[in-house]
Structure 1
Amino acid sequence: MGVTHMMQLQRLCDSITIFLEDDLDPRSFFQTKKIANRYNCKQLEEKCNQFALQRFKEIAQSDEFMKLDEKFISFLMESKETKAKEEVKCRMLLAWTKHDIDERKECFLSLVMKFQLTKMTLSYRRFLVENETLLYKSFEALRLLTLSILDSHGDISSKDVNLTEKKQLVVFDPTSERMHSHDVDDKTWTPMQTIDQAIIQNTLYSAVVMESYIYVICTNKSFYSLEYAESNAKWEQMANANLQNACAVALDGFVYGIEYEKYSNIMERYDSSNNRWTRLTNKSLDMDHESLVAADGKVFCIAGSNQLYRATNQVEIYDPVTSTWSMDDRSLNEARYSASATATEEGIYVMGGYNVDGRSTLTTVEFRSSVTKTWMMLKPMNNAREEFGSCVIDKKVYVIGGNGIPANIEEYDPATKEWKIIETIQGKNIVPMATVAISI
């Protein structure tokens, strides 16, 4: 190539170029690239560039990769055509930088901020934060990496602490096709966002709040989310659940769901970072009409009806850390199904439902202390209820609707140990299993 280039034998030069292109592989790449650069063979340079993009992982594992110049490394890292995962590119960029860290560290810090960080696995991003001291030299790189980790948990919007923020009770009314929030202190109702037509058509079944989003599940397994604090926000359809008539709870950035109206031992978990439902370890018991609640870092499936159509008093507990189920050593005092459950920091409340043979609707209430792990009976509700909603606002428990009774709201105050009816809803058709509490 040197002789033909010096003597300007273009046809021979072209023939050599074709030979080098045909012979290009991970072993010959680096020498071929040097020849292309030295003799300004544009066609061969382009061929080498495309080869490097397509076979990045193979050439990156060669010792000669560490000798590539900054311009070519930048090209490989910034190109959207590079066939390698973002974490692989980042790992090789780190290796290349450490080969001559004094000369290359500035290049690394400028390039690492151009990666699509949210496409890296969370475990690798945590590894970078914990182990790569190079990142500590750039506040901006650390900031972007940290934000990417937060964004992987549902694109959490930035929001300062609001000292006047308060919780309100939210209901879904298909009649007005709106959500409505209720201030339990001043007894006022405020219309919120409309309910998407697709949700109405697919029949809203249950709802859960996680971070600044409300998630709803319909009877046909479709799943939607809404950033409720944004008045102009629109409902977004997420990945469908694999659960029929599901009820759900939120725990540590995940949504957990079970099939409510089906004898089932299935539970699934929704991860907003990848918009995916995953089936978890099966429960021990095939039940329906269980009460689902999150407390003490675990998910509790409480009571329910067995396949003999009898209410039970058993409690199963799922531990997300070990992905295992266990039976609560202490069962409920009273068997029940179609009850409602909610939790405070002090413990779990289970209210109402049908009795053991399904002939009577219950007013009874039980409480499981987070300290003693035992169930105790509390003062009963004013109204017997089944298949109804409950939530906690400022440590007080609120229940709404159920059993075909008017949609009144009862409040339980742990300080006084008393129940009282605080509101009777007029002109609204409340979805019974979809009452939630939000912060506004």
Structure 2
Amino acid sequence: MDEESPDDLLFKDHHFSSELLKQLNDLRQRRLLTDVSICTGAWEVPCHRNVLASSSPYFRAMFCSHFRESREARVQLRGVDPRALEQVVGYVYTGEVHITTANVLTLMEAASMLQYPRLFEACSSYLQSQLAPNNCLGMVRLSEILSCETLRKKAREVALTYFPEVAASGDLNELGALELKDYLGDDGLCGEEEKVFEALMAWVKHDVQARRRYLQELLQQVRLQYIHPAFFHHFIANDALLQSSPACQDILEMAKRQVFSLYGTSTQDSRPTWHVPPRNSYQDFLLLLGGRKDNQQTTREVLLYSALTGQWQNLAKLPTRLYKASAVALHRSVYVLGGMVVSGGQSLISHKVYIFSLKLNQWRLGEPMLAARYSHRSTAHKNFIFSIGGIGEGQEFLTSMERYDSICDTWQTMASMPVGVLHPAVAVKDQRLYLFGGEDVMQNPVRLTQVYHISRNTWFKMETRMIKNVCAPAVVLGQRIVIVGGYTRRTLAYDPQSNKFVKCADMKDRRMHHGATVIGNKLYVTGGRRLTSNCSIEDSASFDCYDPETDTWTSQGQLPHKLFDHACLTLQCIPHMATFS
């Protein structure tokens, strides 16, 4: 008779438990069958022992063991707020509690003491929803008092994510030295290094006499190589407080030699503590500027691509249409140099420099070049920009080179290239600037590598049969310089140490006038023009990626439109601090 039959019914009353609690709470409120009163001071809350013991390990131990409370009619609890106690008991009988800013702390303390973890976490979630830059540091300390790890993690995350706002609130000045060091050294801190330095100095100057002894230790947490050299030069290098510390002076001098000078250092006795990557909060974005769009006139468009989201965004347009200008990324800004401006039917060769801030999504005029030029090449090294060759105002072939110093905001004429070429591939590696190939005045390919020694301001040239590129970009990928296409499908990797070229996997098409840049350890190639099998020329919207680990090319889809003769750059940015239009 006890065996189950297919005709049997298992009845489940989903409302029974809640109805039972409702009836128990009604009995409690009418003080029927209650057998214990939980007291704090003069405040009493009548309850049923079995309900409390069933709901909490704290009360189970109290009423189901040999403690005297198991027999007492009135149990006194110390350290519990009366109102919070009543709310906790109400929660036990109803599963509900109203959490507000006025009661959350006392409720959380009671939930912790009386061992109601879900109520404790509900209070934690409420506090997390109230987190802001002006209270997150206080919440970190509160979480440590309450031993609430979820609140501590979230509050610390807010402090790191909105670090500049936290520092501006002044709460940072109340931290101890070890606490501040922990924040400043965190890879996840979202803030430009200039802001990190300013926060450090504000903290020290809040109580100079007591805190100056921590200056060296804290300065080592600032990643000096990611600070704009002009800021370093004007606001850090000559700071009186830093200059008063020999140890800090040593750090600054090493920074200047290692990072902000054209001249490398041969010092072998130390590896500076700032030899670290940028903080995790920085992301690499791909930027496309100008060029010829859909085979029409030169465009002013600026496009931003995130490899994380795979999305393209439009940014503030170039101030004017520039034909065959050059562009480089330096110190989280983009510099667009020269180019030809067509206005009112007239062509004007420009020497202007436009500077774009991704953070502000704005353009401004910079210090102009010494010579107007277009079809030139530019590249950046440390705090310098080099602008090379091109065509001048009289349509003459330029062999000249000039250098921009971003600290002093000045241009200077440097040694001219040995052989004048147009459209070479250009890259900087190990104190040397390399010009690969290009074409001569008769538009013939030049099988030549021209090398400029940056610190010596001297050139030398090397003939090579491997080079035959025109209108091709070059990028530094690991320890090698990679030359991508240029009226060819070939991808060549040059090793400066061995002075040897190695063939990499060919591109799908013969390409020229395309862009290339590096994100992470991969090479991205954008747009350009391609030679078809019947030798006709087509504009391209292709977007391809080369992986040196596997020596393979893969498609990343298509650009928003066909594009060639454009600038293709990598720019580092803290995403939430950027303003995109």
TM-score bracket, shorter-length normalisation:
0.5 to 0.7
Choose from 286, 310, 318 the match for 1:187: 310
Choose from 384, 407, 410 the match for 2:541: 407
* Alignment deviations for residues 248-271 of structure 1 (CA, whole Å, 9 cap, x no partner): 100021000112356332111111
Choose from 500, 504, 522 the match for 1:396: 522
Alpha-carbon deviation of 1:336? 2.3
Choose from 333, 336, 339 the match for 2:469: 336
In structure 2, what residue type is equivalent to 1:211?
H
Instruction: Determine if the alignment matches structure 1 residue 170 to structure 2 residue 308.
Output: no
Instruction: Determine if the alignment matches structure 1 residue 365 to structure 2 residue 491.
Output: yes
Gaps of 5+ in 2: 1-228, 262-276, 294-298, 340-349, 530-537, 574-581
Choose from 348, 352, 365 the match for 1:222: 352
* Alignment deviations for residues 133-173 of structure 1 (CA, whole Å, 9 cap, x no partner): 99426999999999999xx99xxxxxx95313221211125
* Alignment deviations for residues 337-393 of structure 1 (CA, whole Å, 9 cap, x no partner): 22221112311011211xxxxxxx311111112432211111111121112211111
Tell me the TM-score normalized by structure 1: 0.59
Q: Which residue of 2 aligns with 1:283?
A: 417
1:333–1:376 CA contact under 8 A, matched in 2: no
2:427–2:433 CA contact under 8 A, matched in 1: yes
Q: Which residue of 2 aligns with 1:325?
A: 459
Cα distance in 1 between the residues matched to 2:242 and 2:287: 47
Rate the CA distance shift 1:190–1:310 in 2: closer, same or farther, 3 A.
same
Instruction: Determine if the alignment matches structure 1 residue 269 to structure 2 residue 269.
Output: no
Tell me the TM-score normalized by structure 2: 0.45
Alpha-carbon deviation of 1:181? 1.0
Rate the CA distance shift 1:371–1:190 in 2: closer, same or farther, 3 A.
same
Q: Which residue of 2 aligns with 1:385?
A: 511
Rate the CA distance shift 1:221–1:141 in 2: closer, same or farther, 3 A.
same
Rate the CA distance shift 1:332–1:298 in 2: closer, same or farther, 3 A.
farther
In structure 2, what residue type is equivalent to 1:184?
A
In structure 1, what residue type is equivalent to 2:287?
V
- SS across alignment from 2:539: coil
Cα distance in 2 between the residues matched to 1:239 and 1:269: 11
Cα distance in 2 between the residues matched to 1:148 and 1:344: 26
Cα distance in 2 between the residues matched to 1:140 and 1:367: 41
Q: Which residue of 2 aligns with 1:349?
A: 482
Gaps of 5+ in 1: 1-117, 154-159, 354-360
* Alignment deviations for residues 64-94 of structure 1 (CA, whole Å, 9 cap, x no partner): xxxxxxxxxxxxxxxxxxxxxxxxxxxxxxx
Rate the CA distance shift 1:136–1:216 in 2: closer, same or farther, 3 A.
same
2:539–2:564 CA contact under 8 A, matched in 1: no
Cα distance in 2 between the residues matched to 1:216 and 1:374: 32
Cα distance in 2 between the residues matched to 1:436 and 1:133: 38
Choose from 306, 309, 314 the match for 2:448: 314
1:248–1:255 CA contact under 8 A, matched in 2: yes
Q: Which has the larger radius of gyration?
A: 2
Cα distance in 2 between the residues matched to 1:143 and 1:314: 42
Q: Which residue of 2 aligns with 1:90?
A: none
1:171–1:431 CA contact under 8 A, matched in 2: no
Q: What is the total number of aligned residue pairs between the two structures? A: 297
Cα distance in 2 between the residues matched to 1:291 and 1:191: 28
Q: Which residue of 2 aligns with 1:11?
A: none
- SS across alignment from 1:194: coil
Instruction: Determine if the alignment matches structure 1 residue 260 to structure 2 residue 390.
Output: yes
2:389–2:420 CA contact under 8 A, matched in 1: no
- SS across alignment from 2:510: coil
Q: Which residue of 2 aligns with 1:136?
A: 244
Moved over 4 A (4+): 132-135, 137-149, 173-177
1:409–1:424 CA contact under 8 A, matched in 2: yes
